[in-house]
Structure 1
């Protein structure tokens, strides 16, 4: 950030200090990744498991319910979720993790359902004919074929939550949202730009990483 100080002086020429210094940016980055990572792990586990469960015969009756519950998470703005969670969970990291879990669930559930439902029925029939058990079919046929679509949902969920996690700074969860909130409170647009640029670069980097993983999955499926 210090290398770009002239740019930030141009953004906020009247400010005596234009570089956010209350915490190192690499520390804020680590906290940001921690919050997003924990929320992603829980959301992926719940979303993929729910998608698998309702695409089985025993759970098919619950498919509409799972879709509605997953959609419900995105009908509430993250700010509203935080406002409801703070009185129960207190200030800190936990409320923003809960908000990210609710907000990031829909893309994962939706893509898991789509990926599994689009697996060619003839392949499943052939696997049955080969004597494979339902669990073997799921692990060796359905999930590998559905993996690129599921990964696309995870990619969307994580990328959105990287930006949404900045709201955690409003409830005491220190992360890359700190410079943004501090800049808004103090009227220092240089702080806001620093936080926003860092979050944008992080989101683009993670999105590019997922794109590479998707290409590798597609190439493996094509080769097999």
Structure 2
């Protein structure tokens, strides 16, 4: 549970349905232009200037990532997602909104985190991660001490870690694990702070689906101590 390598392997398919011609063109033409480059990373390597950086782990279809980037064009956003179909959806958002402040990595977020300087991120987002509900698969959850050690190292002091889930098992697990850490402070003061989506927390399609299915959704915000 304490080693990021325990979740390094990406399980399942890397691609779902076959890409349409326009989607394939996006992947071929736009993805190389916005991909996270190889080697050491910082704002200069990613965007050519010294700007605040934020990172989203597993951005799904990219709607939250794109909304955050559109709201704060002076901030650089890094999105990591291993599945091609989600990456293509995100590329569509970037193209349609003309967003130049986003870089995408089709792969494991830990690979990107490891290449960033310590204390370089203003925010890290982990929204509706795979819950791995079976106990024997708990070590695959991103909310484990190994990945959290890395996230903590890369967040600047008072940087924010946002975690959203609609899975009760993951909710309990995350609260337990985060409660064991002295390097994160939970910001909630009232139940509404984690039961109501903050105004600057754009809704994701996973959240909408969860609401349609009658699921509760929890919004956790932690500050790096």
Q: Same fold (TM over 0.5)?
A: no
Output the TM-score relative to the length of structure 1: 0.24
More strand by share: 2
Higher relative helix content: 1
Which entry has the higher C-alpha Rg, 1 or 2?
1
